[in-house]
Structure 1
Amino acid sequence: MSENYNKIRLTLIYTLILNLLVVIGKLTVGLISNSLSMISDSLHSLLDASSNIIGLIGIRIAKRKPDEGHPYGHSKYTSLAALLIAVLLVITAFEVFQGAITRFMTPVAPEITVINWIVMSATIGLNVFISRFERHQGLKYNSNILIADSMHTNTDIYLSLSVIASFILIYLGYPLFDPVFSIVIGIVIFYTGFSIIKKISSELTDSLVIDSRLIKEIVANIKGVKDVHKIRSRGSTAECFVDLHITVDRSLSVEAGHDISIQVEDYLKKAFPFIKDVTVHIEPYVKNVSKRDEFDVK
């Protein structure tokens, strides 16, 4: 897991450098041409860079080993970092809305130049690369923060396309479309932030990670297991903890029961490599006695 964290860290450093280049290009041209859409887009790109820094901090803490105060480790700090990125996105969306309203009240026609087109086209290509690279690495290393950051970066592609659309309409004599497209940018940013918050919240509130029916199917086929119940899983697809109850023949020795529990753990970890730990509670099998409760899969 530590090696994965190092790979994720390097990915965030690479994307941070690229995002800073995008910010400098967009902001410079936006200020020169007085384009609110481009300035708004550059601020969003700056947030991309800020989110990379937040991610680096989260990864640094998450790679710490379990200690007395955190026996399950520190992996949820990556989820907290992703949640913070989402909150910043929502805040930025409202700032973009505010800027658009101001431009409606005091309209100023931005200057459209060849440089605007060149910068926007270049940044779109760069953002496509960044988004795909982050998503690929995120799926490869089961990193929620890289996937969240790729979703964040992916909005830049659509936002930049909306800026180009506003340039075309302004060139055709419709300057008020600049703040209109800024509002569109704000809506996209808000929706992305809300989507990330919804996803990360399920991890932080210990929602089910693995379908209990899949776990039951695997464990029930292990020799010596009579029944499986009280199946629970929590964490994320990067690091998951599972606990369950099994019943075995009441005549088995403690050692034999323990051997079965080891098999259960091995089979589950083989089926789901992201499982970090499995806790197996062994109970004596009693015929015709149900062990089901609210956590069971029927």
Structure 2
Amino acid sequence: MITFLSRFFIKDYKDYASPKVRQSYGMLCGAVGIALNIFLFLGKWLAGMLSGSIAITADAFNNLSDAGSSVITLVGFKLSGQKPDTEHPFGHGRMEYISGLLVSVAVLIMGFELIRSSIDKIRTPEPIECSPIIILVLAASILVKIYMYTYNRGIGHKIDSTAMQATAGDSLSDTAATSLVLLATIISQLTGLILDGWFGVLVGIFIFYTGITTMKDTIDPLLGQAPEKNLVEEIEEIVLAHPLVHGMHDLIVHDYGPGRLILSLHAEVPEHGDLLIIHDEIDNIEHELQDKLNCSATIHIDPIVTDNKEVNDMRTQIEEVTHNLDRRLSIHDFRMVEGPTHTNLIFDVAAPFECKLTNVEITNLLKERIRNMDDGNYCAVIQIDRVYF
């Protein structure tokens, strides 16, 4: 149905990278979710009233909260598409993450309330009624929720939407919840055992767990998570493909919402190169990053010595010393400054967050090893940079 509707309401509906197409898909899926969840609420509420089942009634109100979540998703996509303004110069893309967070909070509240009401039902069990209509309503609800999970997950993956992935997770939890309710109803009818409350607790725990999982997925980008490894590798591939660039470091990626990346990095270039030629090449790299990754890129130039054999040989030795300390460490911005009594070796060390050594430990260990080289003629001046990978 989503594919069918997208052909009528979304121009260039296959251009998933387009911000306008992303927004349109988010709003369309939100609107369809509202309609389907209201339909499910009415059917389950009626079934719950007829059967006297707390689990069915709670599941009905779960669908009503899902309709509210779909409203949040729709509004979130609408607001995230607003243009940058004076108060928000980087746009409103993070509203999509906020809407996903609100959906997760709604899921947590529903899970808690279902557990609470189910415990009351365990304490005071009441027989529940079962009829073909009730079975049909629950079975139809499961099929609808499976469909909603499928299209939210599929579209969410295509447009890289955390909010829609959260909605997909909510639909999956609803599928499991309704399946357990249906199972409890059938068992009660066949055996006379009143398992309504117990199954309600299981449903509530599953819903609560789903809420915690989806909340983490939406909180991480709001706090500022590390970029995906494949994105970092793609950035490196683009930058280092240019012959004038001998290395790159100090990469920073800011995520202001899907399709709103701002990145900066340092590019190592020959110190004796023509400044105008180098500047022109750096401009070309920035434009290439913007075109290929749909981002805003700023590159700082770091001049390095490339034609001095003594400096190059010493850089190789220091790289080996650094790798012997930890293979994940690397150096950049290497310089040699000779003095009357000793030579300063000035460089930065890139250390991933996974490296258990502290900055002070890395600095002291390297200084000690370098001090022991060549009768103590070298003195290390080290700056530690923590990097993503």
TM-score under structure 2 length normalisation: 0.71
Are 1:283 and 2:302 matched, yes or no?
yes
TM-superposition CA deviations, 1:128-185 (whole Å, max 9, x none): 1111111111112122111111111121111111111101221133443111110111
Matched-pair contact (CA < 8 Å) for 1:62–1:73: yes
Query: Greater shift after overlay, 66-75 or 232-241?
Result: 232-241
User: For residue 363 of structure 2, what is the aligned residue in structure 1?
Assistant: none
Query: Greater shift after overlay, 137-146 or 211-220?
Result: 211-220
User: For residue 90 of structure 2, what is the aligned residue in structure 1?
Assistant: 72
Matched-pair contact (CA < 8 Å) for 2:162–2:217: no
- Of 16, 39, 44, 1:21 maps to 39
- Of 216, 220, 223, 2:243 maps to 223
Instruction: Give the whole-Å Cα distance in 2 for the aligned partners of 1:77 and 1:279.
Output: 25
- Of 57, 81, 93, 1:39 maps to 57
Greater strand share, structure number: 2
Q: Which amino acid aligns with 1:278?
A: A
Q: Which amino acid aligns with 1:259?
A: D
Identity of aligned residues (%): 25
Are 1:9 and 2:100 matched, yes or no?
no
- Asked which structure has the greater RCO (Cα within 8 Å, sep 6+), the reply is 1
User: For residue 106 of structure 1, what is the aligned residue in structure 2?
Assistant: 124
SS in 2 for 1:295: strand
Instruction: Give the whole-Å Cα distance in 1 for the aligned partners of 2:276 and 2:172.
Output: 54
**Inter-CA distance 156–245: structure 2 relative to 1 (3 Å threshold):** same
User: For residue 196 of structure 2, what is the aligned residue in structure 1?
Assistant: 178
SS in 2 for 1:172: helix
**Inter-CA distance 93–296: structure 2 relative to 1 (3 Å threshold):** closer
**Inter-CA distance 264–175: structure 2 relative to 1 (3 Å threshold):** farther
Instruction: Give the whole-Å Cα distance in 1 for the aligned partners of 2:86 and 2:278.
Output: 29
SS in 1 for 2:385: coil
User: For residue 251 of structure 1, what is the aligned residue in structure 2?
Assistant: 272
User: For residue 177 of structure 2, what is the aligned residue in structure 1?
Assistant: 159
Q: What is the CA distance between 1:294 and its match in structure 2?
A: 2.1
Matched-pair contact (CA < 8 Å) for 1:209–1:240: no
User: For residue 352 of structure 2, what is the aligned residue in structure 1?
Assistant: none
TM-superposition CA deviations, 1:91-140 (whole Å, max 9, x none): 11110011011111211111111111110111111111111111111112
Larger Rg: 2
Matched-pair contact (CA < 8 Å) for 1:110–1:175: no
Unaligned runs of 5+ in 1: none
Query: Greater shift after overlay, 75-84 or 136-145?
Result: 136-145
Instruction: Give the whole-Å Cα distance in 1 for the aligned partners of 2:219 and 2:192.
Output: 42
Instruction: Give the whole-Å Cα distance in 2 for the aligned partners of 1:85 and 1:96.
Output: 17
Q: Which amino acid aligns with 2:245?
A: V
Mapping 1:197-216, distance limit 5 Å: 197-211=215-229, 212-216=232-236
**Inter-CA distance 35–140: structure 2 relative to 1 (3 Å threshold):** same
Instruction: Give the whole-Å Cα distance in 1 for the aligned partners of 2:147 and 2:182.
Output: 19
Instruction: Give the whole-Å Cα distance in 2 for the aligned partners of 1:139 and 1:196.
Output: 15
Matched-pair contact (CA < 8 Å) for 2:130–2:186: no
Q: Which amino acid aligns with 2:254?
A: R
- Of 281, 293, 301, 1:260 maps to 281
Query: Greater shift after overlay, 136-145 or 72-81?
Result: 136-145
Q: What is the CA distance between 1:277 and its match in structure 2?
A: 1.4
User: For residue 234 of structure 1, what is the aligned residue in structure 2?
Assistant: 254
**Inter-CA distance 151–297: structure 2 relative to 1 (3 Å threshold):** closer
Stretches (4+) displaced over 6 A: none
**Inter-CA distance 188–239: structure 2 relative to 1 (3 Å threshold):** farther
Q: What is the CA distance between 1:291 and its match in structure 2?
A: 4.0
**Inter-CA distance 33–238: structure 2 relative to 1 (3 Å threshold):** farther
TM-superposition CA deviations, 1:248-294 (whole Å, max 9, x none): 122344443332223333444465x3x42122112222454134442
User: For residue 385 of structure 2, what is the aligned residue in structure 1?
Assistant: 294
Q: What is the CA distance between 1:239 and its match in structure 2?
A: 3.3
Unaligned runs of 5+ in 2: 1-18, 307-314, 316-333, 335-346, 350-383
Instruction: Give the whole-Å Cα distance in 2 for the aligned partners of 1:256 and 1:195.
Output: 50
Are 1:60 and 2:81 matched, yes or no?
no
Instruction: Give the whole-Å Cα distance in 1 for the aligned partners of 2:53 and 2:253.
Output: 50
Matched-pair contact (CA < 8 Å) for 1:230–1:296: yes
Query: Greater shift after overlay, 243-252 or 262-271?
Result: 262-271
Query: Greater shift after overlay, 22-31 or 249-258?
Result: 249-258
Matched-pair contact (CA < 8 Å) for 1:89–1:189: yes
